[in-house]
Every structure is written in structure tokens, then in C-alpha cells.
Amino acid sequence: MQVKQIAVVSGKGGTGKTSVLASFATLAGRSVIADCDVDAATLHLLLDPKIISRQEFKGSKLASIDPDRCANCDLCENACRYGAISELKVDPILCEGCGVCAHICPEGAISLEERLSGYAYISETRLGPMSHAQLQAAETNSGKLVSIVRYNARKLVEKTNLELILIDGPPGIGCPVIASMTGTDIALIVTEPTLSGLYDLERILDLRGHLGVTPLVIVNMYDINRENTQTILEYCQRQKIEIVGMIPFDPTVTEAMVACRSVIEHSPDCDASKAMETAWKAVLQRI
Amino acid sequence: MCDVIISVASGKGGTGKTTVAVNMALSLKEPVQFLDCDVEEPNAHLFLHPLISQVKPVFIPVPKVDESLCDFCGKCGEFCQFHAIAVVPKKVIVFPELCHGCGGCHLICPSKAIVEENRQIGVIKLGQANHIQLAYGEINPGEPMPGPIIRELKKHTESGGATIIDAPPGTSCPVIESVYGSDYCVIVTEPTPFGLHDMKLMVDVLRRMEIPFGAVVNRAGVGDEKVYDYCQAEGIPVLLKIPFERRIAEAYSRGVAFTQIMHEWGERFSSLFSIIAGGICR
């Protein structure tokens, strides 16, 4: 059995990743669903997961100064490259937990403490088992938490014999996006026909060159600016990247979101749903 | 004008951060600094068309091991919290993308076998668009860590005027780095369950960071009313509502800030700024 992994990503935020993913999960029947947007997750709003298990995520460490042992020498303050120590207090927001201060302190007054940065969850949903997570507010190291979500999703595959993992990725092209795309079969890039969408598409396509993942493109709300859509089509053609879907602007998509359902579940015959179905068939042919 | 740093954030992507930040900057008469801290996908320059005067590389110091001096004791690998350096029996492997540039391995090496060398992870660009002094960053695709580029950008915050910061989406490290030190944060949301959910996360972040904040509701008219109920219950001021209008969406798609075609909105954005700045500078 060959497990396939599809990551839905976008570069630019708000292009419709989660709406596309929820629709694809509906069309796929049952699959393992992984929400890798761990700092601003929203897929659970549509899928209403019943949490089966929760694990603590300790993503990083935090320096802590024992005031009783501190000799006020300032060495730590000068050694810290993140400017995280001032007046012998550690700023938890700036501290990266590298441990240089603890090493340099002649009094042994500084220690590194693990910080609870969030939780990873395994849940059951009406569309299949789900691996997801929540990074706590103002915490760091989302890439590592994404890797845990991906690992948990693969474990779910082993347990359930399902053959498909659908991954909802975060926006951007940084650490958590790289962690979401690495080792997948297809990166499905959802873009929109705006100048920002086009610019961001070019940047995320640069990224796939580094990761060796096959990219496919969906143009969402293609009819809000047909000229830009044409530019995207031509750009993709030049780059030899396939466009598998063109989804029209359709207020039903927002209505479905408000109803907390995928647009396919909410209104299977609307224009957006039909376009999602066509796109999904095209994706299936590519895997 | 007093020194004021206003950041624009959202939690959820695509709610209109750049729209709000750019239109607010354009609506001002005085010189203003604009820092686009979304270094993964910067977009403000697409609307501002700056004349770029300077492109500066951003580096991070990473270890370089002289294996002729190394006795493979493994202390660097044990020390590194980021697993960026590993010692196998007769070899030291460095993973530069994982390195946070703390310099710990260099400090700890008993054989002085580790020096640091600069590795470029992106650039920052400085330019001018009329009264707006723009700085934005671009991380090289494939690089995981935007933090150092954001920190470099923020060094360009000049005193003696207003600074507007366009933050990246999300609520994790790059967002924190971007809004850190702001006097006020505008949360741009939309009246949908997604917009509301991510706004709540952002509120949580800002409360922990003790940064005052208010909301701008974009695409008002779509979705539901829950975002307003939430703001009222939490005592969060709704500073501005931008309706969902095709003209606004079309202007955005062409890279046009909508106050430039709907002039009555210029005043609304400048009073948005005045209300915020007035509250801080009093």
C-alpha cells in the first residue's frame, strides 16, 4: 500500500486553503486529515473533532536566573545575542532558549527550563481521523509542532489503513510551511488573481524547488480579476506547472464557513462545489 | 507628531492587514515609516511602488569547524539546543538551516576548532514612496527562520515620527517579533468563524504582551455578527468597518490602495490613525 500525502499551501494567507481542504476531505470519503496550521488553526471549526488524546508539546526552553545566586556581573546580558536579558531579567519573548547565558554564568545562577508551548491532538471527525495541534499564544517553534502533527498523521495511517493524508498548511514560506511540505507527494498551491497572490505564488514555487515536491495550482476566485488569472495561467505554463482547478467567487463558500461545514457538504450543487469536484478529480489523476 | 509605533496583525491570513496598513500610511500628510515585517510574503511594496535606494543582505552567524583542530569530543552537539551541529565518530556535521546563530558552540569548544562565518538568509530593502519611508525584507526561499530579518528591519525604526508595522499572519514567533515594542496593535479581522477564531488567538497574544489593541472589521457584511458580539463582550473597540465591496476587491487585485480611488476613505483612515495616536500621545 502506497500512502499519498497532499499538502494544501498558499504563500499568501486567506486564499482559501482550508475551504479547499475541507471540500477535498469530503470528496475523498475518509482520509487522515492533518491540520499543520498550528498557530492559527481553523480546520477544526469545520470538522468539529472529538478529541481522543492530547500530548504536551515542549518546543523550546527558557533561561531562568536565580536571583539568590546572581552576582550582578552582567556577563549574561552581554553574551546574549537576542537581547533577551536586561537588568538581570529574562524576557521570555526574546529568549530563544539557546543556553549561552547558562554556560557563561560564573555563579551557576542560570538554568534552562522547558516551556510548555502547546498541545498536539488526535481526534475523530466525520471525514476521518485527524491530527492537529494548538501552539499557545506567543510561543515559538511551530515547525517542530508541525513535524509532530505530521508524525501523528502517519501513525494514524498505520492504524487505520487509510491511504491518503490531507494536510492543511499554514501561510508563508518559512519554517512551519517547509515542515508541512517536506516529504509530501503533492503541494497543492491555492492562489488568487491579485497582484499579491501572483507575487506570493512565485515565491512559494521557488520553495518547492528546494523541497522536490510536485506542485499543482488552484486559482481561487478566478473571476474577480480575469486579467490576473490569465497572467497566472501564462506564468504556470512557462514554469510547466499544472493548474488543476479554477474556482469562481461564490458567496456560498462563506455561508458554508458560517454553517461550519465544507462547501461540498453545505451546498453540493453550487458553482464553487462543482469547481472543487473538477479540481479534486484532476488531483486524483496526478497521484 | 509624537513617536508612535502601530502594528497591524490578524491571526488569520488574508483578512486585510496590508490593506489597512497601506491605506493608513497613505492617508497621512506627515512623513511616516512603514515596516513590512511579513518577510516570507511581503506585499506592501506592491501597493506603494517605492523607489528602492538600498538593498542590504541579512546574515546569520553559523559555525565552521576546523576538523584538524577538532578532537570530536561532542560538546558542541550536546550544547546545541537546535540540533544544528552533530558529532559522529570522526566527523562534525553542521545543519546551517537549523542554526539560530547563538554562538554557543563556538564558546563551548575546548579545542577552539569552531569559528563563525556569516551565511546570508535574505535581504532588506529600503526605499521611499512620497511621504512614506518603506523598509521590507525578503527571506530566501528554503530558509526557515524569518526572525533575524525581522529584527534587522526593526532596527530601522526611527524616532521622531510615526511607524506603521505590517505583521505576518499567524500568532507565533514571526508575529511576536513584529509586534514586539508596538504602542498599539490593530487587529484586522473579518466577520466569519475563521476571522473570529484567529482574532481571539491574537487577542490572547497581545494581552500577554501587554500591548493595547483595537479591531478593524474588513469585508463587513459577509458572514455573521459574532465578531461584533465578541468585541462588545470583551470591551474591544471596533475602530473601523470596511464593507465588502467589489470595487475594493478589484482595486486590491490590481495592486491599488482603495483610498486612492475612493477618496472619502482617506479621511476615515487618517482619523483611525489620529484616534490611536491621540490615545497614546496624550
Nearest CA among A109, A175, A166 for reference residue A284: A166
Q: Which chain B residues are closer than 8 Å to A257 by Cβ?
A: 192-194, 223
Contact (CB<8Å) A175/B144: yes
Closest B-chain CA to A261? B193
Residues A48 and A139 in one domain: yes
Per the structure, the count of domains in chain A is 2
Pairing mode of beta strands A242-247, B85-88: unpaired
**Domain stop point among A73, A100, A115:** A115
- A50, A81: one domain: no
Q: Which of residues 143-172 of A touch B (CB under 8 A)?
A: 143, 170-172
Q: What is the mean pLDDT of chain A?
A: 95
Instruction: Of A108, A199, A175, B263, give the one whose Cα is nearest residue A99.
Output: A108
Grid cell locating B41: 510574503
Whether residues A173 and A191 fall in one domain: yes
Question: Per the CB < 8 Å rule, is A138 touching B209?
Answer: yes
Instruction: Give yes or no: residues A136 and A176 share one domain.
Output: yes
Which cell goes with A217?
Answer: 495550482
| Any A CB within 8 A of B87 CB | no
Inter-residue contact A47 to A81 (CB < 8 Å): no
Chain B interface includes A258 (CB < 8 A): yes
Preferred mutation among A173, A181, A232 to probe B, highest tally of B CBs within 10 A: A173
**Nearest CA-CA distance, residue A1 and chain B, Å:** 31
For the domain that residue A281 is a member of, what is the CATH number? 3.40.50.300
Chain B residue closest in CA terms to A61: B81
Chain center to CA of A235 = 25
Contact A42 B176 (CB under 8 A): no
Q: Are residues A82 and A199 in the same domain?
A: no
B61: DSSP letter: E
Domains belonging to chain B, first-starting first, are: 4-58+121-281 (3.40.50.300), 60-120 (3.30.70.20)
Q: pTM of whole model > 0.90?
A: yes
Residues of A in contact with B175 (CB under 8 A): 39
Query: Which stretches in chain B have pLDDT values below 50?
Result: none
Judge if A80 and A202 occupy the same domain: no
The grid coordinates listed for A151 are 508524525
Q: Indicate if A146 and A247 belong to the same structural domain.
A: yes
Say if B178 is an interface residue toward chain A (CB within 8 Å). no
What ipTM score was computed for the predicted complex, to two decimals?
0.92
A159–chain B nearest CA distance, Å: 30
Contacts of B255 in chain A (CB under 8 A): 194-196
| Length reported for chain B | 282
Give me the residues paired with residue B86 across strands: B93
A220 and A154 housed in the same domain: yes
Q: Which residues of A touch B101 (CB under 8 A)?
A: 81
Answer with the one of A115, A134, A150 that is the final residue of a domain.
Answer: A115
Say if residue B218 is exposed, middle or buried (CB neighbours under 10 Å; 0-12, 13-18, 19+): buried
Q: Same structural domain for residues A67 and A155?
A: no
**Is residue A31 domain-shared with residue A93, that is, in the same domain?**
no
Please tell me if residue A256 touches chain B, with a CB cutoff of 8 Å: no
CATH code for position A102:
3.30.70.20
B142 touches chain A (CB under 8 A): yes
Phi-psi region of B150 (alpha: psi -120 to 50; beta: other; left: phi over 0): alpha
Answer yes or no: do A69 and A205 share one domain.
no
Mind listing the pLDDT tens digit for each residue in A64-108?
999 999 999 999 999 999 999 999 899 998 899 999 999 999 999
Q: Does A64 touch chain B (CB under 8 A)?
A: no
- Both A14 and A146 in one domain: the answer is yes
Q: Taking residues A135-155, what's their average pLDDT?
A: 90
- In 10 A of CB A73, how many CB atoms? 14
Do A40 and B11 count as a contact with CB atoms less than 8 A apart? yes
Does the pLDDT of residue A284 top 80, yes or no?
Answer: yes
Does residue A1 register a pLDDT over 60?
Answer: no
Nearest by CB: B41 against A11, A142, A143: A11
Specify the pLDDT at position A210.
73
* Measured distance CA(A59)–CA(A120) in Å, rounded: 11
**Hey, is the C-beta of A199 within 8 angstroms of any chain B C-beta?**
yes
B218 alpha-carbon distance from chain centroid: 19
Q: Number of H helices and number of E strands within chain A? A: 11, 13
- Work out the pLDDT band at A207, boundaries 50, 70, 90: confident
pLDDT at A211: 79
Percent of chain A with pLDDT over 90: 91
Bridge partner residues of A190 (DSSP): A218
- Answer whether A103 sits within 8 Å of B172, measured CB to CB: no
Could you tell me where the DSSP H helices lie in A99-181? 100-104, 142-160, 175-181
Q: What is the pLDDT of residue A141?
A: 76
Subunit contact B46:A195, Cβ cutoff 8 A: yes
How sure is the predictor about A137, in pLDDT bands with cuts at 50, 70 and 90?
confident
pLDDT score of A93: 87
C-alpha A73, offset from chain centre: 43
Question: What is the domain extent for residue A18?
Answer: 4-57+119-286
